[in-house]
A and B are shown apart, each in its own frame.
Chain A
Amino acid sequence: MTLTREAPVVAAPPAARTRPRRDGLANALMVAPATVLYTVMLIVPVGLAFYLSLTDWDGFSANPAFVGAGNYADLLDDPELRRAAAVTLLIAAAGTAGLNLLGLGFALLVNGASRANTFFRIVLFYPHVLSALVVGFLWSAILGTSGAVNNLVTSWGGEVLPFLSDPEWATVTMIAVLVWAGFGVNVVLYLAGLQAVPHSLIEAARIDGATRWQVFRNVTLPALGPSVTVNIVLSLVTLLKTYDLVVSLTAGGPAGQTQTVAYLILWNSFHDARLGFGSAQSVILMLVTAALAFVVTRLRRRGELAVHQ
């Protein structure tokens, strides 16, 4: 089928004919290695994830048995998964709000070129270059029962604060650490968006007597529309797959109360050797993530259109 699309070679003189053919070969040679590797290691696995989710693969057997929709049925009445889904959605919703409020707020504060602003941007951003695993271990050493903060509190005669040992506190702590470690990225992204806000509009509004808040609400924020969409979708997608930080900050505890879906997927797959079941969960996670990203983008676009009318 692809052959029919080749350039017509019938009338071409011999010298001009060898050149495109040699180029065609060179093109194929330059594209093939990347395409093959990408197909084998990324496209095939995506298809396999669907297939494996219909089997009882344990990670060892060469021929896993086909169980149809069995894994999906199990997943529907798995209380652990239901709890993990609720925790994950809470983290994603609250985390997205936190990341974007702080991201936009600080972007407005450090906007403009000055040495101090450069310093603040670096300081707000640096946790992002640390691995989430290290960030989690570090904060658990600070907020744990015998950690730095509780040492200070007890030496002043206070009670130990259950940052990581009470389920509700632990969830809030995790969201706070995720926001602490990540909002620097949102600051940088919003700063890039602020460069695109036309200065003349802001000045015109000022001259017309608008207050700072009115300028922000009616000029800056609408012009930032696309940035807001990118930031929200990005935060959601990232937070929905929270894993490393769970491992290092709480290890899913206390009593499994802070396990996220990604944590459960890897636990079921590699601790319980139920990779078929884990595949079913990751297929669901992938679909939910894609659907949420799609819905947010659509809602935001409708909102932006409404603003422009």
Chain B
Amino acid sequence: MRKTFLWLSAVFMLVPLYVLTVNAFKGQQEILADPFGLAGLTLEPLARALTNPQFNVVKGYAITLLFVVAVNVLSVVLAAPAAYVIARSPKRRFRVLMLFFLAGTFIPGQVLVIPVVYVLKTLGLMGTIRGFVLFETTLTLPFSIFLYAGYIATIPAVLDQAAAVDGAGRLRTFWQIVFPLMRPAVATMVILNTFSVWNDFVNPQIILGPGSGLYTVTTGVYAAVSQYATDYTVVFPTLLLAIAPLLVFFVFMQRHIISGLTAGATKG
């Protein structure tokens, strides 16, 4: 009974993915005549989606990857040393700083987008890659610092002291001794940030804007699909191209991703 019910549920969860995949390889007539069938499979719609003038998928991948890498690198470089000082220093001002960063985990990104437009315009960064990467990185900071500080607290401080006795300064102690030990925490954050940057729609749509010609995979899908919602030979291949890299990443890394996203989801 339990097994049957679970298998039926699994089918219900997977049917949309099946419909998406098979119809990405069919013409409009075949899709309309039999959306669940396998007749008349062809690579032609997928090839057309790859060369869609509305949305250059390959360029979209490249831009999104650039953003993912830039945000992840910047986030680690900024959050990890700050978390180290917060975790190691007994001074009260750093405990206050932790609370200051924690407050940020409670502010939803959607509320920020209007005033951030104001800030970016004032700084002359509106519509630029730099402005977008800086804001997207900022959104990752509160939870990264929280997670890193908690992780650093589990690394014995004797290690730092030994390095200090050997004459290493604080910066060197951190980057050469402590940082390499933070790999699990950094991996969790990189996974979380990769998904949130890849899937973000509002921020790239508004900060980069259609005028900049910079489409991420998500804003590109919007540009390509929203006007042609009933031309299924555009919809299905484009959606498939948008999710394929993420699904492959998910299948291979599902253990880490599920535990990482759980950590992320409980941040509130």
Name the residue in A5, A31, A34 with the highest tally of chain B Cβ atoms < 10 Å from its Cβ: A34
B31 to chain A, nearest CB (A): 8
Would A131 and B225 be within 8 Å (CB), given that A45-B116, A192-B262 are in contact?
A: no
A164 and B110 CA atoms in complex are apart in Å by: 25
Q: Is the pair B169, A22 in contact by a Cβ cutoff of 8 Å?
A: yes
- Contact of A129 with B13 in the complex, beta carbons under 8 Å: no
Min C-beta distance of A22 to chain B, whole Å: 7
Contact with B along A144-169 (1 / 0, CB 8 A): 10111001100000000000000000
CB neighbours (8 Å) of B261 from chain A are 128-129, 185, 188
CB < 8 Å neighbour of A35 from B3, B97, B134, B206: B97
- A-B contacts, 13 listed (Cβ < 8 Å): A23-B169, A27-B94, A43-B100, A46-B112, A52-B115, A116-B6, A123-B10, A125-B254, A126-B250, A133-B218, A134-B221, A151-B33, A266-B206
CB distance from B235 to the nearest CB of A (A): 5
Proximity bits, A263-274, B CB within 8 Å = 1, else 0: 001100110000
Q: How far is the CA of A34 from the CA of B137 in the complex (A)?
A: 10
Tell me if B32 is interfacial: C-beta within 8 Å of chain A.
yes
Contact yes or no, B108 A30, CB < 8 A: no
**A132 and B201 contact, CB distance less than 8 A:** yes
Q: Which residues of B contact A65 (CB under 8 A)?
A: none
Contacts of A142 on B, CB cut-off 8 Å? 16, 19, 35
Query: By the criterion CB–CB under 8 Å, are A30 and B112 in contact?
Result: no
Interface contact B79-A34, CB-CB below 8 Å: yes
The CA of A148 and the CA of B81, in the complex, are separated in Å by 52
Task: Name the A residues within 8 Å of B243 (CB-CB).
Answer: 130-131, 134
Q: When chains A and B are docked, how far (Å) is the Cα of A233 from the Cα of B268?
A: 8
Please indicate the chain B residues that have their CB under 8 angstroms from the CB of A43 in the complex.
100, 104
Q: In the complex, which residues 180-226 of chain B have their Cβ closer than 8 Å to any Cβ of chain A?
A: 195, 198-202, 206, 218, 221-222, 225-226
Q: Give every chain B residue within 8 A of A192 (Cβ-Cβ).
A: 262
Instruction: Report if A122 contacts B (CB, 8 A).
Output: yes
Q: Contacts A48-B118, A266-B202, A289-B108 known; A30 to B170 CB distance under 8 Å?
A: yes
**Which residues in A have their C-beta under 8 angstroms from that of B67?**
none
In whole angstroms, what is the CA distance A44 to B119 when docked?
8
> Quick one: CB contact mask for B224-245 with A, threshold 8 Å, 1 for yes?
0110011010011001001100
The answer to whether A41 touches B135, judged by C-beta atoms less than 8 angstroms apart, is yes
Contact at B117–A189, with CB atoms within 8 Å?
no
Interface residues on A, range: 35 or more
B35's contact among A44, A57, A151, A269, by CB below 8 Å, is which?
Answer: A151
- Given A26-B169, A41-B116, A123-B10: A244 and B202 interface contact (C-beta under 8 Å): yes
Hey, which chain A residues are within 8 Å of B94, CB to CB? 27, 31
**In the complex, A85 has a CB within 8 A of chain B:** no
Q: How far, in whole Å, are A138 and B240 apart by their CA atoms in the complex?
A: 10
Contact assessment for B97 and A31 in the assembled complex, using a CB-CB cutoff below 8 Å? yes
Chain B, interface residues (CB within 8 Å), range: 35 or more
Contact partner, A48, options B13, B115, B170, B239, Cβ 8 Å = B115
- Asked if B236 and A52 sit within 8 Å, CB to CB, the answer is no
Contact B84 A30 (CB under 8 A): yes
Q: Which residues of A contact B258 (CB under 8 A)?
A: 121-122, 125, 188
Chain A residue numbers with a CB within 8 Å of B113 are: 266
**Residues of B close to A282: CB separation below 8 A:** 110-111, 114
B145 interface residue per 8 A CB criterion? yes
Interface with A: B42-50, B53-61, B85-93, which one? Answer: B85-93
Q: Is the pair B138, A141 in contact by a Cβ cutoff of 8 Å? A: no
Cross-chain contact A141 with B235 (CB below 8 angstroms): yes
Query: A307 interface residue, CB < 8 Å from B?
Result: no
* Contact indicator B247/A129 (Cβ below 8 Å): yes
| Residues of chain A within 8 A of B171, CB atoms compared | 26, 29-30
Q: A42-B138, A48-B119, A141-B232 are in contact. Are A31 and B86 (CB under 8 A)?
A: yes
For B91, the chain A residues whose CB sits under 8 A away are 5
B158 contacts the other chain (CB 8 A): no
- Chain A residues positioned under 8 Å from B36 (CB to CB): 148, 152
- Residue B246, interface by CB 8 Å: yes
